Amino acid sequence: MGCTGGNLYAGVLDIHGKPNGKGILYYLDSGECDVGTFTPEMKQTGPGIRFNRERDKAYALEAGDLKERIHVLSTALERAGLEQPPAQRHKELIPSAYGYNQTRTEQVKAWYKYRSLANLSVTESCYGVNEYLPTSIRMAK
The answer as to whether 58 is a domain residue is: yes
- The residue range of the domain holding 35 is 4-99
The answer as to whether 123 is a domain residue is: no
The answer as to whether 113 is a domain residue is: no
State the pTM of this model.
0.71
Planar angle of CA 94, 95, 100, nearest 5 degrees: 130
The answer as to whether 40 is a domain residue is: yes
DSSP reduced 3-state for 58: strand
The answer as to whether 32 is a domain residue is: yes
The answer as to whether 64 is a domain residue is: yes
The answer as to whether 105 is a domain residue is: no
For the chain, how many structural domains are there in total?
1
DSSP reduced 3-state for 25: strand
Q: What is the pLDDT of residues 65-101, one digit of tens each?
A: 999 999 999 999 999 888 899 989 988 888 787 789 8
The answer as to whether 129 is a domain residue is: no
Q: What is the pLDDT of residues 36-72, one digit of tens each?
A: 999 999 899 999 999 999 999 999 999 989 999 999 9
